[in-house]
Amino acid sequence: MDVHQHFNGLKTAALFAAIIGLLLAVGGAISAATGSSIFIWVFALIGVGATAYGYWNSDKLAIRAMHAYPVTEAQAPAMHRIVRELSTAAGKPMPRLYISPTDAPNAFATGRNPANAAVCCTEGILRLLDERELRGVLGHELMHVYNRDILTSSVAAAVAGVISSVGQFLAFTSIFGGGDDEDSPNPLALIAMALLAPFAAMVIQFAISRTREYDADEDGARLTGDPLALASALRKLEHGTQRAPLPATPQLQNASHLMIANPFRAQDISRLFATHPPMAERIARLELAAHQQR
Protein backbone atom coordinates (compact mmCIF):
# COMPACT_ATOMS: atom_id res chain seq x y z
CA MET A 1 0.00 0.00 0.00
CA ASP A 2 2.87 2.36 0.71
CA VAL A 3 4.32 1.63 -2.74
CA HIS A 4 1.14 2.87 -4.40
CA GLN A 5 1.15 6.01 -2.28
CA HIS A 6 4.72 6.67 -3.43
CA PHE A 7 3.78 6.24 -7.08
CA ASN A 8 0.71 8.41 -6.59
CA GLY A 9 3.00 11.16 -5.34
CA LEU A 10 5.01 10.95 -8.55
CA LYS A 11 1.83 10.93 -10.64
CA THR A 12 0.56 13.97 -8.76
CA ALA A 13 3.79 15.88 -9.36
CA ALA A 14 3.77 14.95 -13.06
CA LEU A 15 0.11 15.93 -13.40
CA PHE A 16 0.52 19.37 -11.89
CA ALA A 17 3.78 20.03 -13.74
CA ALA A 18 2.10 19.21 -17.05
CA ILE A 19 -1.03 21.26 -16.38
CA ILE A 20 0.92 24.25 -15.05
CA GLY A 21 3.15 24.04 -18.12
CA LEU A 22 0.07 24.14 -20.34
CA LEU A 23 -1.32 27.09 -18.41
CA LEU A 24 1.94 29.02 -18.84
CA ALA A 25 2.09 28.12 -22.55
CA VAL A 26 -1.43 29.39 -23.14
CA GLY A 27 -0.67 32.51 -21.09
CA GLY A 28 2.39 33.14 -23.24
CA ALA A 29 0.31 32.74 -26.39
CA ILE A 30 -2.24 35.24 -25.10
CA SER A 31 0.55 37.65 -24.24
CA ALA A 32 1.95 37.30 -27.76
CA ALA A 33 -1.48 37.77 -29.29
CA THR A 34 -2.30 40.90 -27.30
CA GLY A 35 1.15 42.37 -26.95
CA SER A 36 0.66 42.69 -23.19
CA SER A 37 2.20 40.53 -20.48
CA ILE A 38 -0.56 41.39 -18.02
CA PHE A 39 -2.62 38.44 -19.24
CA ILE A 40 0.01 36.00 -17.98
CA TRP A 41 -0.43 37.40 -14.47
CA VAL A 42 -4.23 37.56 -14.75
CA PHE A 43 -4.60 33.95 -15.77
CA ALA A 44 -1.92 32.82 -13.34
CA LEU A 45 -3.97 34.38 -10.52
CA ILE A 46 -7.12 32.76 -11.87
CA GLY A 47 -5.31 29.42 -11.88
CA VAL A 48 -4.19 29.88 -8.28
CA GLY A 49 -7.72 30.88 -7.29
CA ALA A 50 -9.26 27.85 -9.01
CA THR A 51 -6.72 25.56 -7.34
CA ALA A 52 -7.48 27.00 -3.89
CA TYR A 53 -11.22 26.79 -4.49
CA GLY A 54 -10.96 23.18 -5.65
CA TYR A 55 -8.82 22.33 -2.61
CA TRP A 56 -11.16 23.76 0.02
CA ASN A 57 -14.49 22.89 -1.61
CA SER A 58 -13.90 19.54 -3.34
CA ASP A 59 -16.23 17.73 -0.93
CA LYS A 60 -19.05 20.29 -1.12
CA LEU A 61 -19.09 20.48 -4.93
CA ALA A 62 -19.58 16.75 -5.52
CA ILE A 63 -22.09 16.34 -2.69
CA ARG A 64 -24.11 19.27 -4.00
CA ALA A 65 -24.03 17.96 -7.58
CA MET A 66 -25.55 14.66 -6.44
CA HIS A 67 -28.09 16.33 -4.07
CA ALA A 68 -26.78 14.01 -1.34
CA TYR A 69 -27.83 14.19 2.29
CA PRO A 70 -25.91 13.07 5.43
CA VAL A 71 -27.02 9.85 7.08
CA THR A 72 -26.79 8.69 10.67
CA GLU A 73 -26.01 5.16 11.81
CA ALA A 74 -29.72 4.61 12.48
CA GLN A 75 -30.54 5.59 8.88
CA ALA A 76 -27.80 3.51 7.20
CA PRO A 77 -26.54 0.90 9.71
CA ALA A 78 -24.79 -1.40 7.21
CA MET A 79 -22.96 1.47 5.51
CA HIS A 80 -21.82 2.89 8.85
CA ARG A 81 -20.71 -0.51 10.16
CA ILE A 82 -18.67 -1.36 7.05
CA VAL A 83 -16.95 2.03 6.85
CA ARG A 84 -16.17 2.02 10.58
CA GLU A 85 -14.62 -1.46 10.35
CA LEU A 86 -12.54 -0.61 7.29
CA SER A 87 -11.42 2.78 8.65
CA THR A 88 -10.35 1.12 11.90
CA ALA A 89 -8.46 -1.58 10.01
CA ALA A 90 -6.64 1.11 8.02
CA GLY A 91 -5.96 3.19 11.14
CA LYS A 92 -7.66 6.25 9.63
CA PRO A 93 -10.48 8.56 10.75
CA MET A 94 -13.98 7.65 9.68
CA PRO A 95 -15.34 9.90 6.90
CA ARG A 96 -18.77 11.51 6.86
CA LEU A 97 -21.39 9.38 5.11
CA TYR A 98 -23.98 10.55 2.59
CA ILE A 99 -26.68 9.04 0.41
CA SER A 100 -27.75 10.47 -2.94
CA PRO A 101 -31.47 10.12 -3.78
CA THR A 102 -31.06 8.68 -7.27
CA ASP A 103 -31.74 5.28 -8.84
CA ALA A 104 -28.43 5.45 -10.73
CA PRO A 105 -26.16 2.92 -8.95
CA ASN A 106 -22.86 4.54 -8.02
CA ALA A 107 -20.60 5.63 -5.17
CA PHE A 108 -17.84 8.16 -4.69
CA ALA A 109 -15.50 9.63 -2.10
CA THR A 110 -14.54 13.26 -1.86
CA GLY A 111 -12.59 15.63 0.41
CA ARG A 112 -9.14 17.16 0.58
CA ASN A 113 -7.68 14.71 3.15
CA PRO A 114 -8.71 11.74 5.34
CA ALA A 115 -9.75 14.06 8.17
CA ASN A 116 -12.10 16.03 5.89
CA ALA A 117 -13.49 13.28 3.69
CA ALA A 118 -16.96 12.09 2.76
CA VAL A 119 -18.20 8.88 1.18
CA CYS A 120 -21.47 8.85 -0.73
CA CYS A 121 -23.59 5.97 -2.02
CA THR A 122 -26.64 6.38 -4.21
CA GLU A 123 -29.91 4.78 -3.27
CA GLY A 124 -29.58 2.75 -6.45
CA ILE A 125 -26.29 1.10 -5.45
CA LEU A 126 -27.59 0.29 -1.98
CA ARG A 127 -30.48 -1.61 -3.56
CA LEU A 128 -28.35 -3.28 -6.24
CA LEU A 129 -25.49 -4.73 -4.17
CA ASP A 130 -25.45 -7.20 -1.33
CA GLU A 131 -23.46 -6.36 1.80
CA ARG A 132 -20.32 -8.20 0.71
CA GLU A 133 -20.25 -6.32 -2.62
CA LEU A 134 -20.98 -3.02 -0.88
CA ARG A 135 -18.00 -3.67 1.38
CA GLY A 136 -15.81 -4.08 -1.69
CA VAL A 137 -17.06 -0.79 -3.15
CA LEU A 138 -16.57 1.12 0.12
CA GLY A 139 -13.05 -0.29 0.46
CA HIS A 140 -12.28 1.07 -3.02
CA GLU A 141 -13.64 4.51 -2.12
CA LEU A 142 -11.77 4.67 1.17
CA MET A 143 -8.49 3.91 -0.60
CA HIS A 144 -9.11 6.87 -2.91
CA VAL A 145 -9.26 8.98 0.26
CA TYR A 146 -6.20 7.41 1.90
CA ASN A 147 -4.14 7.68 -1.31
CA ARG A 148 -5.20 11.36 -1.56
CA ASP A 149 -6.55 10.81 -5.05
CA ILE A 150 -9.57 13.03 -4.36
CA LEU A 151 -7.55 16.17 -3.71
CA THR A 152 -5.42 15.65 -6.80
CA SER A 153 -8.28 14.94 -9.17
CA SER A 154 -10.44 17.78 -7.81
CA VAL A 155 -7.70 20.38 -8.11
CA ALA A 156 -6.68 19.02 -11.52
CA ALA A 157 -10.28 19.34 -12.70
CA ALA A 158 -10.39 22.95 -11.49
CA VAL A 159 -7.11 23.89 -13.18
CA ALA A 160 -8.03 22.05 -16.38
CA GLY A 161 -11.27 24.04 -16.41
CA VAL A 162 -9.26 27.25 -16.20
CA ILE A 163 -7.09 26.13 -19.12
CA SER A 164 -10.20 25.37 -21.16
CA SER A 165 -11.58 28.84 -20.42
CA VAL A 166 -8.27 30.43 -21.32
CA GLY A 167 -8.23 28.46 -24.56
CA GLN A 168 -11.67 29.80 -25.46
CA PHE A 169 -10.47 33.34 -24.74
CA LEU A 170 -7.43 32.74 -26.93
CA ALA A 171 -9.59 31.48 -29.77
CA PHE A 172 -11.70 34.64 -29.54
CA THR A 173 -8.55 36.81 -29.48
CA SER A 174 -6.99 35.06 -32.46
CA ILE A 175 -10.14 35.43 -34.56
CA PHE A 176 -11.20 38.95 -33.65
CA GLY A 177 -8.01 40.49 -32.30
CA GLY A 178 -4.59 41.21 -33.66
CA GLY A 179 -3.53 43.64 -36.34
CA ASP A 180 -1.94 43.73 -39.77
CA ASP A 181 1.58 43.98 -38.38
CA GLU A 182 3.69 41.32 -40.02
CA ASP A 183 5.21 40.60 -36.61
CA SER A 184 1.80 39.61 -35.26
CA PRO A 185 1.37 35.95 -34.37
CA ASN A 186 -0.17 33.60 -36.93
CA PRO A 187 -3.91 33.44 -36.13
CA LEU A 188 -4.02 29.79 -37.20
CA ALA A 189 -1.26 28.94 -34.71
CA LEU A 190 -3.19 30.68 -31.95
CA ILE A 191 -6.38 28.82 -32.84
CA ALA A 192 -4.43 25.54 -32.72
CA MET A 193 -3.10 26.44 -29.27
CA ALA A 194 -6.60 27.39 -28.16
CA LEU A 195 -7.93 23.98 -29.18
CA LEU A 196 -4.99 21.80 -28.19
CA ALA A 197 -4.33 23.25 -24.73
CA PRO A 198 -7.68 22.28 -23.14
CA PHE A 199 -7.62 19.01 -25.07
CA ALA A 200 -4.21 18.15 -23.64
CA ALA A 201 -5.28 19.19 -20.14
CA MET A 202 -8.26 16.84 -20.28
CA VAL A 203 -6.19 13.95 -21.62
CA ILE A 204 -3.64 14.36 -18.82
CA GLN A 205 -6.33 14.56 -16.15
CA PHE A 206 -8.23 11.53 -17.47
CA ALA A 207 -5.12 9.41 -17.95
CA ILE A 208 -4.09 9.98 -14.34
CA SER A 209 -7.66 9.28 -13.21
CA ARG A 210 -7.67 5.89 -14.97
CA THR A 211 -4.47 4.69 -13.34
CA ARG A 212 -5.75 5.75 -9.93
CA GLU A 213 -8.86 3.61 -10.44
CA TYR A 214 -6.67 0.53 -10.89
CA ASP A 215 -4.71 1.40 -7.76
CA ALA A 216 -7.88 1.97 -5.70
CA ASP A 217 -9.26 -1.37 -6.93
CA GLU A 218 -6.12 -3.20 -5.87
CA ASP A 219 -5.62 -1.37 -2.58
CA GLY A 220 -9.32 -1.58 -1.70
CA ALA A 221 -9.31 -5.33 -2.36
CA ARG A 222 -6.28 -5.63 -0.09
CA LEU A 223 -8.07 -3.63 2.63
CA THR A 224 -11.17 -5.85 2.52
CA GLY A 225 -9.26 -9.04 1.76
CA ASP A 226 -11.89 -9.93 -0.85
CA PRO A 227 -11.04 -8.99 -4.47
CA LEU A 228 -13.93 -11.04 -5.84
CA ALA A 229 -16.47 -8.99 -3.89
CA LEU A 230 -15.39 -5.83 -5.71
CA ALA A 231 -15.25 -7.71 -9.02
CA SER A 232 -18.83 -8.86 -8.51
CA ALA A 233 -19.93 -5.33 -7.62
CA LEU A 234 -18.26 -3.87 -10.71
CA ARG A 235 -19.97 -6.46 -12.90
CA LYS A 236 -23.36 -5.42 -11.52
CA LEU A 237 -22.51 -1.74 -11.82
CA GLU A 238 -21.52 -2.10 -15.47
CA HIS A 239 -25.07 -3.14 -16.32
CA GLY A 240 -26.79 -1.05 -13.67
CA THR A 241 -25.30 2.27 -14.78
CA GLN A 242 -26.43 1.63 -18.35
CA ARG A 243 -29.97 0.79 -17.24
CA ALA A 244 -30.17 3.87 -15.01
CA PRO A 245 -27.59 6.45 -16.18
CA LEU A 246 -27.20 9.95 -14.83
CA PRO A 247 -27.94 12.90 -17.12
CA ALA A 248 -24.72 14.31 -18.59
CA THR A 249 -25.15 17.79 -17.09
CA PRO A 250 -22.09 20.04 -16.59
CA GLN A 251 -22.29 19.66 -12.80
CA LEU A 252 -22.37 15.86 -12.97
CA GLN A 253 -19.68 15.74 -15.64
CA ASN A 254 -17.40 17.67 -13.28
CA ALA A 255 -18.06 15.08 -10.55
CA SER A 256 -18.08 11.95 -12.72
CA HIS A 257 -14.34 11.27 -12.33
CA LEU A 258 -14.94 10.67 -8.60
CA MET A 259 -17.44 7.86 -9.12
CA ILE A 260 -16.57 4.16 -9.05
CA ALA A 261 -18.31 3.56 -12.40
CA ASN A 262 -18.88 5.80 -15.41
CA PRO A 263 -22.34 7.20 -14.63
CA PHE A 264 -23.32 8.14 -18.19
CA ARG A 265 -24.59 6.24 -21.22
CA ALA A 266 -21.80 4.86 -23.38
CA GLN A 267 -22.83 7.09 -26.30
CA ASP A 268 -22.65 10.18 -24.10
CA ILE A 269 -18.89 9.95 -23.63
CA SER A 270 -16.17 8.64 -25.91
CA ARG A 271 -13.58 6.07 -24.89
CA LEU A 272 -10.83 8.69 -25.24
CA PHE A 273 -12.45 10.98 -22.66
CA ALA A 274 -13.67 8.26 -20.30
CA THR A 275 -12.35 8.90 -16.81
CA HIS A 276 -12.56 5.21 -15.95
CA PRO A 277 -10.66 2.27 -17.44
CA PRO A 278 -12.74 -0.45 -19.13
CA MET A 279 -14.73 -2.40 -16.56
CA ALA A 280 -13.71 -5.73 -18.07
CA GLU A 281 -10.03 -4.93 -17.45
CA ARG A 282 -10.70 -3.92 -13.84
CA ILE A 283 -12.65 -7.13 -13.21
CA ALA A 284 -9.93 -9.26 -14.82
CA ARG A 285 -7.26 -7.68 -12.60
CA LEU A 286 -9.30 -8.34 -9.47
CA GLU A 287 -9.94 -11.95 -10.46
CA LEU A 288 -6.22 -12.43 -11.03
CA ALA A 289 -5.49 -10.94 -7.60
CA ALA A 290 -7.97 -13.38 -6.03
CA HIS A 291 -6.33 -16.30 -7.84
CA GLN A 292 -2.90 -15.21 -6.60
CA GLN A 293 -4.19 -15.10 -3.01
CA ARG A 294 -5.04 -18.82 -3.06
Q: What amino acid occupies position 145? A: V
Contacts of 64 (CB under 8 A, 6+ apart): 251
Can you tell me the distance from the alpha carbon of 289 to that of 46, in angstroms, rounded to the nearest whole number? 44
- 76 close to 96: Cβ distance less than 8 angstroms: no
Options 85, 131, 133, 141, the catalytic residue: 141
133 is catalytic: no
C-alpha pair distances (Å), 256 with each of 15, 261, 273: 19, 8, 11
- Using only C-alpha atoms, what is the Rg of the chain? 21
- 152 close to 146: Cβ distance less than 8 angstroms: no
122 forms bridges with which residues in the sheet?
100
CB-count burial class (<10 Å; 0-12, 13-18, 19+) for 216: buried
Contacts of 129 (CB under 8 A, 6+ apart): 105, 137, 233, 236
Can you tell me the distance from the alpha carbon of 145 to that of 161, in angstroms, rounded to the nearest whole number? 23
* Catalytic residue annotation: 141
